[in-house]
Every structure is written in structure tokens, then in C-alpha cells.
Structure 1
Amino acid sequence: MVVGIYFLGYRVVRTEFSLVLSLYSSLFGLMIFWFFYSKKRTVDWKAVFLVGFILRLVLFPSIPLWSEDFARFLWDGELLNLGFNPYLNTPNQWVQLHSEDFSAYLALLYDRMNSPGYYSVYTPFNQFFFWLGAKLGGGSLIPGLLVLKGILIIGEIAVFFLLKSLLIRFGIGSQKLIFYWLNPFVILEVIGNLHFEGLVLLFLLAVLFGLERKHRLVSASFLAFAVGLKLVPLILAPGFLRIRSKQPWFWMGLGVISLVLFLPLLIDQSWRNFFQSLGLYQGKFEFNASIYYLGREVGYWIEGYNTIAYLTKGLSALTLLLILFLAFKKKINQTKDWIELWIGCYWIYLLLQPVVHPWYLIPGLGLSILTKKIGFLVWSLAVILSYQAYGNHCNVEYPIVLVLEYSLVCVGLIYDYRQHYFTFPIKLLKK
């Protein structure tokens, strides 16, 4: 596993799709083998933890090969460190306006950036970590990356112990932790490609820990941190409408902390540029989608052109309606019910999105470890097929590869919800 992670982190670029697929599948197979091997005997958790930790350390000094996002992270952090507002100008605009401050380090980041024409789309709380990387990194690429990766590794260690504690508390076989801790998908996307969804999962697990122990203020605080880091956990908010006036501390904590975390957007009206980038992201980009692509084909058939501007708005409205329906339909009697609800919300969100980057799956995968569901685990294997798009010069997604990926996802979904699929039509007929 160490050899495989090393090659994927240092030697194999994403354009070499055949090699990426074979190495990744082999690592996934080794993880599955370890899981079934551990079921036959007492698990040595010190050994499991040590192996997962070593696999992450292997990628600690690496420069991400499969994603250019890190350049924007460090760019925004360096601007903050220099006293500039990263929301005020696009990188292209900033270079023209502040050529005297355009250092060799910023030039290096600028050349590696994949979105110099867009305003920053990262939240103020996320920017805080970027600033730490710049401040402690001393204006150098590798030290800046090491700071950010160190933060993420600490977060991963906390996820390990929280997952283990919750698995024991819920009476689920703790061997399932292997599916997160030794999963090549998690290791490569969090530590290798430097994505903060691992920290989002940490905050969501802390919310569950607070709910389990009836600490509503703790739950509210960590939910605010999760939303403050990435906006996506907002999809979980409708479920909390069940917590009404009997729990005022929950809503007060959530409101106050959220306000503090997003307050910097009011500086120089940064919120305008921030939400402009969010709008462009929702109405312009397409990648690794499922239902959206089907809707797009229908749009081509009816209108003769790409109806993305209308389709994304329609799917966003449908996402909201389905999540609201699920939130009010799901009975919440214990913490496990919250987990089931959240997993359902993530399924709805991801299946209706026009852009589904692999790392978006991490919170859903981590939450599913606490259940008997395997859908997100299957998707964490199938999602490597999305890298096929980088295996050609035009970044074209092959329909046959998308069909294969989402066929595997459907198999996982049907396995998870098979009882509901088969009983719902019968209940409907009886009515």
C-alpha cells in the first residue's frame, strides 16, 4: 500500500488514466482484503492506525499532482498575509493592479492556478487556514503546503478516533473504520490533493457526538464550523428544524457562530464577488454529473442547445424540495436517525449536481461508515473513473465511462435501500 500510494502521489499524473485506474483498484482491493482478514480475528487497532498514518505521511511532502486547487489556496493566503482582500479582485486583476507586489512566489502560484479569471469562492473560515499556510510557510511553496497538510493530518487523526468511538457506541463492527482510514480515495484526496472535506467530516462527526450526549450547544457550534468551512453542509439544516424553541441554545449558538464566521464577507462588500463566483460555478461548469447530464440531453433534444442556465436552477429547486421532504418525513428518535437523514441529503445533493468532483463524496462516505450502508463506499471506488476525462487532450468525458461509474453507484444504492424499493410500490398499491 505504501508503494502504491507513493507512485500515485509522486510519479503518476492524472493524464495516465490506465495506470491511475490499475494502481488505485489494487489499493482498494488491498483495503477490502484487510477488512475481511480483520473480521476473522481481533483487530490490532494500533497497527491499523499506524498503517493509515504512515500512508498519509508518505504524501505529506508531496506537491499535488491531480488538482491545481492548492495554488489558489496558497494565493489567497499570501494575499491575506500581505494585507490584501482576496475577494476584492480576481488574480488576473490583482496582477495588473499590484505589479509591484507580484513576487516570484506569487508568480509561481499564478502559473499553476486553474481559475485566475474568477473571484475566490472559498469561505472566510477556509481562508483562515490559507492564511495560516502563508504565515507559517514564510512565502515558500513547500512549507506552505506542509502547514496545510499538517492541519489536515491532525483532522484525520481526530476523525479516526471519533469514528471509532461512535462505532463502538452504536454497536457497529469497528472493522468498518478500515473503509475510511485505509481507503486510497480518502488518503489521496485529503492529503494528496489537499481538500478540506476531511475537516468538514470531522465537524459533522463532532455534531453527532454532541447530539449523542445531548450537548445541543456543542452540536450547534460544530455545525456552524462545518457550514463555515464549506457551504454544502447547509443541506443538512432542514433536519434541524425539528429542534424548536425547547432548545434555544442550539439556535443561538448556530446563529452567533455562523455570523462571526461569515462577517468578513461584509468587508468591502466582498460578498458580491463571492456569490458571483458561486453563481458562475453553478451555472457554467459541468463535470462527472449523472441526472444533470440526462436532463441536459433532453434540453438539447427540445431546445437544440445547452440549457444549463435553466437546468441548474431547476435541479437546485428540486434538491431543496426533496431535502425538505426527506427532513420532515424522516422520524428522528435517536442519533442513528440523524446519520440516515444526512446520508440521504448527501445522496440527493450529489446526484442532482452539475459538478461532482471526487472529494465531494468524503463527508457522505465518512457518515456511511457509521451505518450498514455501502453505497458511498462503492462510489469511492467508482469515482476514480471520473479521472478518465483528464486522459485526453480535450478533457472529454466518455459516456460509456460515466454509465459504468453510475451503474456501480446504482448497485450500491439499490443494495442500501432495497427494502424501501421493494416495499414502497406494494404500500402504494394497498392505498
Structure 2
Amino acid sequence: MWRQLTSHWKLHKYSILLVLASIALYASFAYNLQREDFIKLLTLCIALFFLCYKIIQFQKWNFKFLLGVGVLFRLVFLFAEPNLSQDFYRFIWDGELLNNFKNPYLYLPKVLIEQKDLPIANAQELYNGMGELSPKFYSNYPPLNQLIFALASLLGGKTILGSITIMRISIILADIGIVYFGRKLLKNLNRSPHLIFWYFLNPLVLIELTGNLHFEGVMLFFFIWSLYLLSIDKWKTSAVVYALSILTKLVPLLFLPLFLTHFKFKKSVPFYAIVGITTTILLAPFYSSEFIANYSETVGLWFSNFEFNGSIYNIIKHTAISFFDAKPWELIKAYGKITPIITISIVLLFTFLRDNKNLNTLISSMLFILTIYYFISTTVHPWYIIFLTLLTLFTNYKYAVVWSSAVILSYWAYGQPDFKENLWFLFIEYSSVFAIILYELITQRNKKRLFCKN
């Protein structure tokens, strides 16, 4: 036994030291960081991205080592309260409502909190933790997300930390599932299976999903599982799983039209039917006459009321204000009406102008659609980039991995009054991303030309 440990140390001592350093930094991040301390936050993130790169570089063919390290990093956060996001308070609130047979899509927290007999554990603490905005709006989290919230509330022992721990475990299990199906999908696409660890060990993924309890990871688990099922021609089961992805987060709705040209009309109709039926069955318990209006109103706010880390929108906004004396509140509402039209047009262009029959092409179409959507969006939270980061691993593009590190600059706003953004930081973030995208597009185009000549 001692000889084995000694031998293992000699073979992997540098990697083990890097892992120990990472654990120390993640612990500092989880338990000793105030989000207003941007310098410390930025320093920790830069160090963690460097260590991630070196660990994968040294151990990229050692699956068990990287899997174990990724799980270990996640366990560091297990009992920490999220420090960059307060969304978890609303998650627990919605879960408590559901466990008390109240539809979270029909009740505003600011109204419920006035009831004397409100059957929600820690109601006042949860309400205060949500901040000023969330209590004013109906819940915008899809049904499968709500079920996870309810499970966390049920098993959390009526404590906030208990509910946090249950939610965190579900996110960790989802990430392990992504590694499992992601490696299989990479092999089926004739790509190196170690690439999945650029997701699994990515500091942004660990910080925002495991750390801050965003459920993109659960959505991506179902999404990657669905794509894997497509790769082995189990498209009916894939449709069911794809619906589960939508019912966790709505983003995969963007890609539904692409399946029309992936399957052609004859097979796409039953695929859409299965997605629709699965979605309807899981939506049915929440449905009421007010549900659609409330949910649509809340989702619509993201297009016309909120702004954070936007790129093209910020250019248009500051140009309009500087040269045309535009009013910001009027501009964002007008821009919010145009954005869905542009998004739908882009989706249709990629649907009918690309041959999406091949799974590689289908995934790259998804990548480009989501990238353009984020470029024109008014709000791009750091955890949104995680979807792109995972998608790029199945393509010849890597710009989203770079974006996952550059987006850390947007955290500057977290420590400022009214979340005031630093435009120079946004310029650095997006100029680096645009430059790498341009470089990769030119490189891929040249490779295709060379291949065609040969």
C-alpha cells in the first residue's frame, strides 16, 4: 500500500500539488469572499483558470483522476451559502409554495408576505434575501426546476442551508451525468473524450453552478443526453429528454426549428409531437387561466427591462444617448421588441440555409444561434456562457472557453451601487471574444478550402 502511494505521488506529484492549491482557492472563494471585493474575486478566478489549464494539460488522458478531482472541487462548496447570487432564496420560496400546494406562478411574494398564516418556513428571511426585484414578479422558473426546488425544500429539514445542500447535490449529480453522456457523444462524433473536462473542471462552471446554484447544469444534462440519444438514432427517447431540458430552462426552445431540417418533415413531425406531449404533461399540474399571462409577462421583462453585460446593445445604447439624446428607459423597451424578431429570423436562416442533417452541423448551428442571441441580448449573466462552453467542445471552435474566463470581468458590477458597469471591462471582454471568433472562423474557412483542393 505504501509503495503504491509513493509510486502514485512520484507520477502525479505536480498535478496533486495543483489540485491542493485549487482546493484552497475554491475554499477561499466559497467561504471567505464578499462579492464586492472585485480584486480578490478576479485574482482567485485568474489563478483557478490557470490551474485548471495545467491540471488538464498534465492529466488529460487520466479519466479517473480528472473525474475525482472535479467531484472533489464541487464538494468544497457543499455547505457554503452562495455569495455571488441571491436567486437561491427565490428557489427555496417557490419550493415551499409547491410543498404547500400553492402554484408558484400565481402568487407574488410581496403579496404573500403580508399574510399572517403564511405556511413557509423562514419566510421573512427568504423574502428579505430575494432583494427588491424578485418579490415583485411571478416565478419564471420552468416546471422541472420547480420540482427540484420542492424536493430541496422537502428534504432540507426546513432550513435554508439544508435546502441549499440538496439543490447543490442535484447540480453535482447533473454535472457527473454530463461527463458520462458527454464523453460518449464526443466518441460518437470522433472527438477526443477528454475535452469534456474543459466543462467539468472549468472554474466558471464550478463557481456559478455548484457554487451559486444556477440550474444550467441540470438543463445541460438533459440536453447532452438528448444529443447522445440522437447520435445512436434513438430519436423518440431523445425527444422526451429534450422536453425535460426545456422544462428546466427555456433556452433549448431556440433550437427546435433546426430539427425540421435535421430529420426532414416526415420524422420531425412525430419528434415535435413527442416534445409537445411531454411538455404538456409536465405543465398540466401548473396550468390555470392566469398561468400563461403571468409567465409570459415575467419572461418578457428580460427583453425590455433588464440589462447586464450586453455587447451590441451597449454600443447602440451609448451611441443613441451620446448623439441622438435617446432616453435609456425608452430605448431598452424599443430594443426589447426588436430582439425577438431578430432572434427568430436568425434561427430560421440557420434552419433553412444550412444542411443540419449531420449531427456535427446541427450542433454548430446551435452554437452560432446561441452566440448571436447572446451578442444581441441586453442581459448576459456569466452563467449563460456555460451553455456555449459545453457546445463548443463538440465543434472545432473554442472561443466560448475563452469567453468563460473573460466574462469574469463583468463581476465588477456586483460591487457597485445599482450594479453600475465598467464599460472598459466590457470592451476588454467582448473585444477578446470577437477577436478569437474572427480568428477561428478564418482558420476553419482556410482548412475547408485546403481540404477541398486536396
Q: So what's the TM-score if we normalise by structure 2?
A: 0.88
- Distance in 1 (CA, whole Å) between partners of 2:433 and 2:295 is 33
- 1:67-96 CA-partner distances (Å, limit 9, x unpaired): 000000000100111222222221111112
1:108 aligned residue:
125
1:358 aligned residue:
382
Q: Secondary structure at the match of 2:83?
A: coil
Change over 3 Å in CA distance of 1:247–1:389 after alignment to 2: closer
Conservation of the 8 A alpha-carbon contact between 2:183 and 2:194: no
Q: Secondary structure at the match of 1:246?
A: helix
Asked if 1:294 corresponds to 2:315, the answer is yes
- Distance in 2 (CA, whole Å) between partners of 1:246 and 1:21 is 48
Conservation of the 8 A alpha-carbon contact between 1:265 and 1:271: no
- Distance in 1 (CA, whole Å) between partners of 2:277 and 2:204 is 35
- The unaligned stretches of length 5 or more in structure 1 are 425-431
- Distance in 2 (CA, whole Å) between partners of 1:31 and 1:275 is 40
Query: 1:364 deviation in Å?
Result: 1.5
Residue type matched to 2:220 in 1? L
- 1:85-141 CA-partner distances (Å, limit 9, x unpaired): 222221111112x22226561111111113111111111221111111111113211
2:192 corresponds, among 166, 173, 176, to 173
Query: 1:285 deviation in Å?
Result: 0.6
1:428 aligned residue:
none
Conservation of the 8 A alpha-carbon contact between 2:23 and 2:73: yes
Asked if 1:263 corresponds to 2:291, the answer is no
2:101 corresponds, among 71, 76, 83, to 83
2:366 aligned residue:
342
Asked if 1:138 corresponds to 2:162, the answer is no
Residue type matched to 1:219 in 2? S
Asked if 1:26 corresponds to 2:47, the answer is yes
Change over 3 Å in CA distance of 1:251–1:393 after alignment to 2: closer
Residue type matched to 1:230 in 2? K
Residue type matched to 2:246 in 1? V
Conservation of the 8 A alpha-carbon contact between 2:168 and 2:210: yes
1:190 aligned residue:
209
- Distance in 1 (CA, whole Å) between partners of 2:200 and 2:383 is 15
- Distance in 1 (CA, whole Å) between partners of 2:123 and 2:335 is 38
Conservation of the 8 A alpha-carbon contact between 1:216 and 1:247: no
1:225 aligned residue:
244
- Distance in 2 (CA, whole Å) between partners of 1:31 and 1:47 is 13
Alignment of 1:198-237 (within 5 A): 198-237=217-256
Residue type matched to 2:274 in 1? G
- 1:168-217 CA-partner distances (Å, limit 9, x unpaired): 22222233222111111001111100011011111111121121111111
Conservation of the 8 A alpha-carbon contact between 2:30 and 2:77: yes
- Distance in 2 (CA, whole Å) between partners of 1:184 and 1:86 is 32
Q: Which moved more, 1:294-303 or 1:21-30?
A: 294-303
Change over 3 Å in CA distance of 1:261–1:349 after alignment to 2: farther
Asked if 1:53 corresponds to 2:71, the answer is yes
1:407 aligned residue:
431
Query: 1:333 deviation in Å?
Result: 3.8
- Distance in 2 (CA, whole Å) between partners of 1:271 and 1:176 is 40
- 1:390-423 CA-partner distances (Å, limit 9, x unpaired): 2223421011011001011112212331247789
Q: Secondary structure at the match of 2:419?
A: coil
Change over 3 Å in CA distance of 1:391–1:422 after alignment to 2: farther
Residue type matched to 2:89 in 1? A
2:347 aligned residue:
323
Change over 3 Å in CA distance of 1:249–1:7 after alignment to 2: same
Alignment of 1:117-156 (within 5 A): 117-156=136-175
Change over 3 Å in CA distance of 1:268–1:147 after alignment to 2: farther
Kindly report the root-mean-square deviation, in angstroms, between the aligned alpha carbons of the 2 structures.
1.9
- Distance in 2 (CA, whole Å) between partners of 1:7 and 1:302 is 47
Change over 3 Å in CA distance of 1:246–1:232 after alignment to 2: closer
Which one has more relative contact order, counting CA pairs under 8 Å at least 6 apart? 1
Residue type matched to 2:226 in 1? V
Residue type matched to 2:281 in 1? V
- Distance in 2 (CA, whole Å) between partners of 1:423 and 1:311 is 38
Change over 3 Å in CA distance of 1:181–1:420 after alignment to 2: closer
Identity of aligned residues (%): 31
1:251 aligned residue:
272
Change over 3 Å in CA distance of 1:180–1:246 after alignment to 2: closer
Conservation of the 8 A alpha-carbon contact between 1:72 and 1:113: yes
- Distance in 1 (CA, whole Å) between partners of 2:166 and 2:56 is 32
2:90 corresponds, among 69, 72, 80, to 72
Residue type matched to 1:79 in 2? L
- Distance in 2 (CA, whole Å) between partners of 1:365 and 1:413 is 13
2:440 aligned residue:
416
- Distance in 1 (CA, whole Å) between partners of 2:391 and 2:181 is 11
- Distance in 1 (CA, whole Å) between partners of 2:420 and 2:222 is 36
Change over 3 Å in CA distance of 1:205–1:104 after alignment to 2: closer
Residue type matched to 1:183 in 2? N
Query: 1:5 deviation in Å?
Result: 0.9
1:313 aligned residue:
337
Q: So what's the TM-score if we normalise by structure 1?
A: 0.93
Change over 3 Å in CA distance of 1:421–1:352 after alignment to 2: farther
Number of residues of Structure 1 aligned to a counterpart in Structure 2: 420
Q: Secondary structure at the match of 2:117?
A: helix
2:110 corresponds, among 61, 71, 92, to 92
